[in-house]
Homo-oligomer: A and B are copies of this chain.
Amino acid sequence: MTRSLISPDGKIADRDVASKLVIIMVGLPARGKSYITKKIKRYLAWQQHEVEIFNVGSRRRGNTNTDKKDVEPEQHTPEQAAAMLLNGNLKQPPTSAPLSGQPKRLSAAEGRTAMRRASTMDQTAQFFNPTNAEASHLREQIALTTLNELLDYLLCRGGSIGILDATNSTIHRRQLLFDTIKAREPKLGILFVESVCQNPDLLEANMRLKLSGPDYKDKDPVQSLADFKDRVKAYESAYEPLGDYEEDHAMQYIKMIDVGKKLTHFGLEGFLSNGISNYLSSFNLSPRQIWLTRHGQSMDNHAGKIGGNAELTERGHLYSLNLYNFITQKRKEWLVEQKSKAAASSFPPVPGDKSPPYPELNRELDEKNTCVWTSMLKRSIQTAQYFEADDDYDVKNWEMLNELNAGKFEGMTYEGIARDYRTEYEKRQRDKLSYVYPGVGGEGYLQVISRLRDMVREIERIKDHVLIIGHRSVCRVLLAYFMDLTRDDIADLDMPLGMVYCIEPKPYGIEFHAYRYNETASTFDELVNYKPQRTVDRHA
């Protein structure tokens, strides 16, 4: 957590253009670019940055935005964006000599026409052939229109980070984008992020995922896969990976090879670029489960007091035992299921095949450990007591998983605070996310988000299962990361004792399950189609 004169809330300075960043994706189709952009967006949004993805492909298909979550009420249409571009463009001369003369100024009409034309054209592989002059011209115009939308977002609509999701596979295209950005605002940071697949299994699996994507949905899978491979070939013929050119021109970049297996970064400048590089370094696609729950009932829970470091009640101890039994059972079930899937999978995959896409990662199934991570507080450590006694689990206690520190209100009830510190109580009710408890050590949600940054990277990094036995605020913040919740939801998320959440990262997103502790039956019952929801507790 930081605060500065310019940015009192620790977010990127709104007035400080130099700290804003354009991320330009690079890579052939089916290299996981959209997977990466979505994860970067989720991570940065969770860290309370204003971030949006601008997908060129979706505009090529005639949509202004594929990702519905990206659309905000004040979002501009391509027409509006092009009009703003006309008014706001070329404020400053470019800082480096462009490769192909001055960046083109795209008129509103040109942008509009290009998208309309492209959306009516036959967009099979031939459209992506670099020798198809008309299509090439159209694709460039659409890319520039999308970039200008992104720049409007950063310069006129308060955005901090804009991600341009497209292949950008030639030096010519990348230099054109670079010059267009610098022409509009030379201080903006620019970071290229390339995704490369060297592992043929990974590539084949990625391609198969495309068959359920927007270009091929409901079309013949065999023909679609062939067309898609032709499209990739069309790009490949002109593909120029990041490298010497960027280094000679001092353009910072990150190159990911086989999603986290290998990574190169060059010339990184600034806290954001470095943070993104660290985050991308921690990726892995190993199949695994991430479990999240609160500790069992503590003496203070029983008394309605917040904070403190109380022991578990008898009911809490019973929860510990049942949790241990439940996780142990689920772990066995998972292994059996994965193995049967792995045995049934054909490779290379055939269309319609629902087998796990990365079979080599299934080889290590038997060696997969389950880590159990608690805070340093007694109620969390005691909830892990049965796991500690079992060699199959690796228990670790983390400082950063501790409950939000309530400062001088530690040990009080919410009712007590409302009675004795009315002003503070109301301040918190008005804006729980920004509220910081008074007194030395007092924290707020923004502090908890900040201290859990390393925790999230650690969860992303390990290939083992993990069970986190946390506390209300910590579980809220972690669930918000995985479920991509907006800042308004985090502090009010329903997070009662006895709920257990299971997150399974998949190449196409996340599988989510929720279970509720059934104290009478000593079981955990799945809540089918459960979605994270707002708490009805008016205090918590």
Contact = CB atoms under 8 A, between A and B. Distances in A.
Given A261-B267, A262-B264, A264-B262, A447 B399 contact: yes
Contact of A376 (B3, B307, B309, B388): B3
B268 A281 contact: yes
B271 A458 contact: yes
Contact of A396 (B4, B267, B277, B394): B4
Interface residues of A, number: 43
Contacts of A3: 376, 396-397
A4 B450 CA distance: 23
A262 B263 CA distance: 11
A216 interface: no
Interface string A2-33: 11110000000000000000000000000000
A192 B458 CA distance: 22
Copies of this chain: 2
A331 interface: no
A519 to B, nearest CB: 28
Contact of A262 (B247, B388, B458): B247
Contacts of A407: 441
Contact of A2 (B397, B440, B447): B397
Contacts of A261: 266-267
A398 interface: yes
A264 B196 CA distance: 14
A119 interface: no
Interface string A277-308: 11001100000000000000000000000011
Nearest to A458: B271
12 contacts: A1-B376, A3-B397, A261-B267, A262-B265, A263-B265, A271-B458, A277-B281, A399-B447, A399-B450, A405-B441, A410-B441, A411-B440
Which 8 pairs show the lowest CB-CB distances between chains A and B? A441-B441, A1-B399, A264-B264, A4-B396, A3-B397, A262-B266, A405-B441, A410-B440
Interface of A: 1-5, 247, 261-268, 271, 274, 277-278, 281-282, 307-309, 376, 388, 394-400, 405, 407, 410-411, 440-441, 447, 450, 454, 458, 461
